[in-house]
A and B are shown apart, each in its own frame.
Chain A
Amino acid sequence: MFRNSRYYLPVMLMLLLASCIKRYDPNIDSSDKFKYVITGSVNKGDSVQRLYISTSSLLSRPRIIAITGCSVKIIDGKGNKYIAKDVGKGNYEAIIPESELVTGNTFMVDIQVAGGAHIISDFDRIQDCPEVDSVFYIREDIPTSNPYFPTRGIRFYMNLNAETFYCRNYRIEAIETWEYTAPFPDYADRRVCWVTSNIRSIFDFTTQNQTANIYTLYPLHFVDNYSSQRLRYMYSLLINQYSLSEAAFTFWEKMRINSSDQGGLYENQPFQVSGNLHNLSNPDQQVLGFFGASAKKSKRIFVSDVPGLPNQYIDCRPAYWPEIAAPECLDCTALVGGTNVKPKYWPN
């Protein structure tokens, strides 16, 4: 996920002998080290509107530094104010009546950080969002350095059909859930688990440069058949499709470009991305993130037994058992995010 700022650069002949790479820690100005980060949006289609307030963290110690105790108001274009409650860990929640969550209505956020900055966002307008047209996978092999053993797997794709819709900018959130087992469970209920996580990529696209408001074969992530148990039993993918305003799309597109690994010797320079948030108490202090308003449509698919793709995941080997086996070989809940509670939507 982190943009890998490799300047391979004149990686050159014998100069490779002469060249060297060493650790170097630049001095970062204190004003750059910590900035407020506001993310979240008002979504038509959600019953609870969520907002996250945190600060950025040191490069050497990446983490979420949550800010609690802020007074947060979401204001709509008609002047209605909705208080967002602090539910802990920097999460704030507000309930906005469905009657106001309509296409064309605008929303902004007004945050008073406890004992600190007053932050507001620009208004963002809800655009209408069509249903998720289709989500599917295609068998793909990714070549490796060994031409005889490519990485085998599937890549997910989605189609958009918004012919009758006005909105042309979209963002996709992909959330995967998969079932896995511990081969040598200590207890019976620690054998089968499920884990859910966000796909760590930014997916967004626009149809503005096309005549039709249609997008086919938008590529999502790739899942292989050997490095995890994802394709062993059952894999589920939830797609959240958000309609985006022009400002929101510009923000997400910049975030995507900035965090994508470009590859190549002379790659592009990374840059600072500003969203639509402003620190009124200290206008020079940039506020990271974006507060948006959109409509959301979701679709979930399940994948099991991909034709022609046998699962090649190798279980914990018994030779190591039990003394030095990884904890998740003995207890499936030991895997970060894993739970032995079967999700409600999981088929039997």
Chain B
Amino acid sequence: MKNMIAGVLLLFVTVSLPAQQLDKITDYHVKNIPFAEFCGVIYNQTSVRVFYQEKWVGKIFVTLSLDSATAMEAVSAALHNTGLKVSVWHTNLVVLPGEKLLPWLPPYVNKEHLGSTDTAAKALTASEEKYMTGRNADVIQNLKIGRKEAQVSSVKANVTGRILDEETGEPIYSATIYIKENSTGAASDFNGFLSFTLKPGSYNVQFEYLGYEKKKYLMELYSDGNFTVTMRKVAIQMQGVVVYGDRQMSIRAKDPGLDKMSIKAIKELPTMMGERDILKISTTLPGIVSAGEGAAGLNVRGGGSDQNAFYINKIPIYNTSHLFGFFPAFNADIIKDFSIYKGFIPAQYGGHLSSVLNIKTRQGNRKHFTARGGISPVTCDLVVEGPIKKDTLSYILSARASYSDWILKRIKDPVISNSSATFNDLSGGFTYDIRKTQVALFGYHSYDKFSLSDQNTYSYSNNGLSAVFSHNFSNKLKAEFSMVGSQYSFSTTDMQVEVKAYEHSYKMEHYEFRTDFKHTINEKNSLEYGLGIIQYRLNRGTVLPYGENSLRSTVELGREQAFETSLYISDSYDILPWLNLTFGGRYALYTPTGPKTVYEYTPGTSKDVRHISDTLNFSNNRPICYYHEPDLRVSLNIETDQSGSVKLAFNQMHQNLFLLSTTTSIAPNTQWKLADYHLKPSVCNQFSVGVFRTLAELGIETSAEVFYKQTRNYPEFMDGANFIENPQVETAVLQGLQKAYGLELFVKRSYRKLEGWISYTYSRSLITVTGDNVWDKINQGDQYPANYDIPNSLNVVFNYHLSRRLIFGSIFTYQTGKPVTYPVSVYYLNGLPVLDYSKRNAYRIPDYVRADFSVTIEGNLKKEKFMHSSFIFSAYNAFGRENPYSVYYKVEDGFIRSFMYSVIGVPIFTVTWLFKLGNYVSE
């Protein structure tokens, strides 16, 4: 019934009627009368005659209850689903089978405009709007898609929609459409596009995106078509801590183990040194831990920190932090979306075993110029953005720099005052957007330099550039072509011990070309496929003795090169309305190539320079070996009811790139190393199951997930490994088995005055490296905990909105202490005292506990203002707990004493000032 009325209305919109009687609005209430009699009713009320052939309408009985309708509407309604069409002929109506009379040529209407909301909305008269809103309180607008003429009721229509921010014109990523009638939906991609396939008809649809006003439409779908919907930011919405998928997504999203974080989520939370760090906040989510203060990198589900792929607008970033991990290497103000895949990783990603961390930056305001920035005790940052050509070409530029040296200079200790620490990062993007085509250019640069008195100098830098061309070939097919270049380099000068002083520079390059296609086959089935090629180039550099007195010898660590070609295909299929299967695979061919000298070792001996039996020389670009194996990705999403779902996933990953690290954290001189002739790619199989439930009345979302993963060829450093002096990495690395399993519990409350989340993770990560020979074993072949094995982790994050201008935030963190190899006793070897160490990682440093608090004071809420600013007062480690970073030993007065080193042993109070042009809600 509803559909019918809507259909009538829309027809009315398209063809405005010339005659007076036709315009007359009356009420129609008839019950089960023959069509002929109904025509009489119409004639009586409006003097409009209806022409028809008896044989067409003989069997039609009309039941209708219409208020305020025209004759045209009434007849159309009566003929709905009969195959008969009603047309206007002079001042009368004509009923014809299957087609309409054209009383005049319709005005030319661009197909794309036809679907636009604006046209549809404008075309509605006040009475119609009233009519509709009266009928369906929530439906505020009408969305008309396709051409009615093209409608073929049996053929499903392919629809592409686009969702834009009303104010800035930027696409909204991850906004959702929910189609009430068949409980399906879709989410928008990075360019704001979403597509779906549906039978023509009328639908109640709802658009949602976090922090935006919900929009409801009555969607009238005739045939293939496009539409654009703009969404408005809400001021009333508490924009606090939201780790989303929005409510709908968390139940219906097909990716188990996908976490998304809003950048706003972190704004009102306590910070360390006033730096808003989305990576640090992500460690409060289940399954993600960091190894402590000053430890760069994340450990996701018991994986090493090199098992995470990190992208910013498709540029892989190989060192994601400033200053040893204290600060993030990117400006929080440009982040639009941050997603973490840890359970099911879509087939388009590969190359890192544990997770994909994906940052999408904003594209820049398309309507007007704006700027924002902030000042904290350590850094200041500025973002400017605006249109170059309104609605079409926009830019965003961000700069951030530290000015911390002045603090150091004030410290009396000469070691510190002679030290310096500087870092900066720059990024900028241009987005060109014309209807079906988007071109995005993005550049990124970060630089760090730290020197500790005259002892050590570390500097490192990331540089990247990406160019992405996306095009919607049709409503069914979207494609994206990307070219990416990324560089990571560092250089170290270590002068601490003069005789061992050295300098070393390292550089890694990553060049990538990829194409990705999204293909909607039908409403139930969508296909994603693509291919890519990556070239890796490493110059591991030369370790040179530094200074005249260094006794080191020059060690050339060598160059490496490899190609990785990959293909993937993945199909998402709704088997039943409540059951979705995503099945995909990825096939990657990895080839290290020359120029390279490879050594063979005598069989039956350890891989040691002493046992080299043969030398193989590979010329430039000549393949050294091939590694290829398919990755299988399967996920099954079962919607158990309206507010709950169960997700199962099986995920296979390969990794060809490793960090050569003997320490828990990523040091600024840790080298990435490619899989090669000896070092095989790691392979990981993960199985996970998650149960998700929302308690909508309470604003609470809950989830419980378990996972088990097993990694083959996990590279682990051998006892005594030294990667600075070692060109042949295979002599210092053994590959074994890594097992990780865990349970993750999560409760989140949002859209309330008091909101936040509690997450608890139990997880283990255990390594076994064993072989037939003594030299093939680590820890005598016994299983041992990985450096980052942290069984228990509890995080409580709460925000309390006293008012819109005053927000109180807190984070409480508890973690089991990291595993450590302790010296356990002293013994004498021919009179020489030596330490006996425990088995690898047999002990743990004390547990880690920290509480942080913050108060955010927002500026006034006046709508008309030039600039809005806010202050954030943070207390990091508010109770001043001395959390251990490491335990170390030194000889004092002839005794061996153990000491605990805490990076931060006192509370740190900071004030940060943030500003943006515009008012409280503006972007």
Contacts and interface: CB of A to CB of B under 8 A. Distances in A.
**B is bound to A:** yes
A227 interface: no
B623 to A, nearest CB: 28
A14 B407 contact: yes
B663 interface: yes
- Interface size range of chain A in the complex: 35 or more
Contacts of B832: 1, 198, 200-202
A143 B498 contact: yes
A257 interface: yes
A142 interface: yes
A259 B496 CA distance: 18
Contact of A19 (B419, B667, B903): B903
B897 interface: yes
Interface stretch (B12-20, B77-85, B252-260, B885-893): B885-893
Contacts of B411: 14, 16-17
Contacts of A25: 898
A141 B549 CA distance: 8
A4 interface: yes
Q: Which of A12, A29, A201, A274 has the most CB of B within 10 A?
A: A12
Interface residues of B, number: 93
Given A13-B407, A13-B416, A32-B825, A26 B898 contact: yes
A219 interface: yes
Interface string B558-593: 000000000000000000000000000000000000
B898 A24 contact: yes
A39 B830 contact: yes
A258 interface: yes
Given A1-B834, A14-B408, A264-B500, A7 B901 contact: yes
Interface string B133-145: 0000000000000
B835 A57 contact: no
A257 B831 CA distance: 18
A250 B773 CA distance: 13
A261 B612 CA distance: 28
A23 B821 CA distance: 18
Interface stretch (B165-173, B307-315, B339-347, B717-725): B717-725
Interface in A1-42: 1-7, 9-26, 28-29, 32-35, 37, 39
A141 B780 CA distance: 43
A209 interface: yes
Interface in B806-833: 821-833
A229 interface: no
B551 A274 contact: no
Contact of B834 (A168, A259, A261): A259
A331 to B, nearest CB: 22
B829 A255 contact: yes
Interface in A214-237: 219
A147 B887 CA distance: 34
Interface in A325-342: none
Contacts of A32: 824-825, 836, 838, 842
A208 interface: yes
Interface stretch (A59-67, A294-302, A306-314): A59-67
Contacts of B435: none
Nearest to A7: B886
A85 interface: no
A261 B886 CA distance: 18
A64 B834 CA distance: 11
A87 B94 CA distance: 126
Q: Which of A14, A35, A250, A289 has the most CB of B within 10 A?
A: A14
B609 A209 contact: yes
Given A12-B324, A26-B843, A271 B837 contact: yes
B836 A272 contact: yes
B610 A268 contact: no
Contacts of A60: 895-897
Given A4-B890, A15-B294, A32-B838, A57 B408 contact: no
B496 to A, nearest CB: 5
Contacts of A257: 719-720, 722
A276 to B, nearest CB: 10
Contact of A142 (B450, B498, B900): B498
Contact of B667 (A20, A26, A266, A270): A266
A22 B900 contact: yes
B904 interface: yes
A198 B413 contact: no
A263 B827 contact: no
A299 B858 CA distance: 81
Interface of A: 1-7, 9-26, 28-29, 32-35, 37, 39, 52, 54-64, 141-143, 168, 173, 198, 200-202, 206, 208-209, 219, 250, 253-255, 257-259, 261-274, 288-289
20 contacts: A3-B835, A5-B888, A6-B888, A13-B416, A18-B904, A20-B882, A37-B829, A57-B826, A59-B835, A60-B895, A142-B499, A143-B547, A173-B830, A206-B610, A258-B835, A263-B494, A263-B497, A265-B456, A268-B720, A269-B662
Given A18-B903, A26-B822, A257-B720, 5 more contacts: A9-B886, A13-B419, A52-B830, A62-B833, A288-B836
Interface of B: 293-294, 323-326, 404, 407-408, 411, 413, 416, 419, 421, 450, 452, 456, 458, 494, 496-500, 547, 549, 551, 608-612, 662-663, 667, 669-670, 717, 719-722, 724, 775, 779-780, 821-840, 842-843, 845-846, 882, 884-891, 894-906, 908
